[in-house]
Amino acid sequence: MSNGEGEGEEEGASAGDDGVVAGDDWGVAGDDRGGSGDSILVSVDDEGIATITLNRPDKLNALNTRVRQHLMEVVDDLAADARVKVAILHGAGEKAFVAGADVSEFAARTPGEQREVYDRRRVYDAVAGFPKPILCAVHGWCLGGGSELALACDVRIACPTARFGQAEIRLGLIPGAGGTQRLARLVGPGQALRIALSGDTIDAAEAHRIGLVEVLAEEEGGHLEAAGKLAGRMARWSPVALRLAKRSVRAAMEVPLSAGLELERELFLAAFASEDGQEGVRAFVEKRRAEFRGR
């Protein structure tokens, strides 16, 4: 794997010891022939915070078909779990959040087979459509499909040494799971074009400067702690209000302002009519802490 020093390195592509295509800083050459049962770990704490761990550190948490399918099932289960208020997604190991896709997997497909795969429901859309807040805690490499997975989340928290990139251009490809669309909406078309067309990686400070990362952890390895603190602040509030606020903000990226304002009005009225909304107003007037029940 490239050491990440500098941008646009011109090394030749070859499979390194860690499985990453050296010089490309992206993708994994070699599939996972084991089951996916332990490829994702899930826990839910007493605050209602779910932690989702991508657990393929030996493959830099690369996304193959099994992992994507398993993650989609996990996301669906957590969406239906009334205990869960907020979710945190992160990668195991020391080197990467997600180093990208399993290149060998789609290298074996014909164009027709690839289209068939892409016509199915995709994990990136499942994550983006998760009705509760989902935070992405990033360390190390966040490249290709990993970048797209982070973009599908609501808030990105990164270690100082994290690196981001969309290096599909180096393989004669483009991002195909939201990488161009979600990135442009987040950082603007100019920055999105710079990243997508150059194949360069950017460091966490640059990602934070352009708005790709919302929270920059103060210390190396502090991404999970920072994500946990933010998730804890969110989990204090009404699950109903969290869902409605997320839906309203997400709509701002997809609909005209007039339609967004109308949706916001309707969602406000829905929140006001909810049991949690009534409880919150009463608690404020009575100068006590509200007891939200998610109804």
* Active site members: 148, 168
* Phi and psi angles of residue 140, each rounded to the nearest 5 degrees, phi first: 60, -140
CA distance 92 to 256: 39
Surface-to-core class of residue 139, CB atoms within 10 Å of its CB (0-12 exposed, 13-18 middle, 19+ buried): buried
Cβ contacts of 84 within 8 Å, gap of 6 or more: 44, 48, 49, 50, 78, 132
DSSP 151-213: HHSSEEEE-TT-EEE-GGGGGT----SSHHHHHHHHH-HHHHHHHHHH--EEEHHHHHHHTS-
Here the tokens at position 161 are 């040494």
How big is the CA angle at 55 (ends 213 and 165), to the nearest 5 degrees?
35
Among all chains, which residue has been given the structure tokens 């966040």?
142
Q: Is 132 exposed, middle or buried (0-12, 13-18, 19+ CB in 10 A)?
A: buried
Q: Residue 162: which residues within 8 A CB-CB, separation 6 or more?
A: 97, 138, 139, 140, 141, 142, 203, 204, 207, 213, 223
DSSP state of 144: T
